[in-house]
Every structure is written in C-alpha cells, then in structure tokens.
Amino acid sequence: MLKIYLTRHGQNQDNADGILNGHRDESLTTLGLDQAKMTADYIREAKIDFDKIYTSPLLRASQTAKVIANELGVNEPEIIPELIERDFGSMTGKYVSDIKALCQPDIIETDTVTYFLAPDGAETFSDLVRRGEVVIELIKEKHPSGSVLLVTHGDIGKMMYAAYYDLDWRDVLINFHFGNCELLLLSEDSPASEVHVFKQNQHNH
C-alpha cells in the first residue's frame, strides 16, 4: 500500500508580511525553518520512513524539504514542477487584507482564509484539482507501495486532498485548513476525516 504524506512549506517572508505569494519566491523566515525542524522531529518520533521526498520548485518548499531531508538523513529531495503553488494571477503580490475589496463577490470566506476564485490570470480551483490528480497518478506510477513525502503549498495541497478523496473543492475550502508545515496523510486505509497527522501553532498567516 502507498502512503502519500503532504506537508506545506514553513512560513516565508511573504506569509509573515501578509502578502499573497503564489509564484513569488521568497525564502523561509527563522520561524519557517523552526517549523520545518519541528515537522522533522515529529516524523522521526512517529517512526515514519520515506522512500523519497519530492518538492515544489519554489524556494520556500525546497528549503523546507531540505531541512526535513537533512534532519531525517534522507536523500536529496527531487523537484516535481506540478507541486508548485497556484498561480494567483493578478492577485500575486497583493496584500491578504485587500482580497475582499479586489475580488468580491467571487470569494469564499472561512474562519482562517478568504479565497479568491477567479481574478485575471489565476488558476481556478478546478484547474488545481486536475493538477492534483496528475501528481497523484505520477506518484502512484513511481511508487506502487511504500511512503513518500510531498512538500508543497496551501492551495494545491488542499486540492490534492480533494482529488485523492474525490471531494468537492468548495467543501474542502470551507471545511479544511492546511497550515505551514502541517502533515497530512493520503492513504487507502486513512479516511478523509483523519487526514491531519500533525498540526502546528500558526503565526502570521
């Protein structure tokens, strides 16, 4: 049986500054590095062994992946381009606090995040579900069994979860939060309701 673990990158400077990063490529903050180490500590204590670690090409994810790999003594992470975050289009680089003003009524508000649905040039969540399906099939082809870790981002990570468990993306946005360096498990013997393996206290988005 294949177990696919997902973690979101640690906090980066855009997260700390309340800026929508999308494909922007800022480094991890000191807190982000600490979050990555805490996730590695949990993985070690839980005795989870990975056959391979894959990462998004963006710096905040690849730095997170390298910290975890180094802490666990796993080989260099391999980049999968499709693990990259959603293209935020015209919202790239805008402040999180401006989402409602710039994007309503095409938004979904939750307790933790306000999601914009269709700004100019942005990938839609349906696009992300399809991309998530591509990644999952790729991983299944490479690894018929065993355990792998995918280091990715908030929106694409949530849509991979939606794709794996065949859930409606709107329901996932409303009911599901994927914080920095939290760990998820996608597996045939792990129900969708129990996907969170490890949660962290979140600071500054």
The per-residue pLDDT for 201 is 66
pLDDT in tens, 93-136: 999 999 999 999 999 999 889 999 999 999 999 999 999 999 99
Q: What are phi and psi of 62, to 5 degrees?
A: -65, -35
DSSP β-ladder status, 52-55 and 107-109: unpaired
- What pLDDT does 205 receive? 39
Q: What is the mean pLDDT of residues 54-73?
A: 97
pLDDT of 202 over the 70 cut: no
165-175 pLDDT, tens digit each: 999 999 999 98
Is the pLDDT score of 203 beyond 80? Answer: no
Residue 204 has pLDDT above 50, yes or no: no
The CATH class given to the 2-198 domain equals alpha beta
Residues carrying an active site annotation = 9, 85
What is the average pLDDT value for the chain, to the nearest integer?
Answer: 94
pLDDT at 157 over 50: yes
Tokens of 8: 């979101």
Q: State how far the alpha carbon of 179 is from the alpha carbons of 11, 36, 86, in Å.
A: 9, 12, 16
CA distance 56 to 200: 21
Q: What is the pLDDT of residue 82?
A: 98
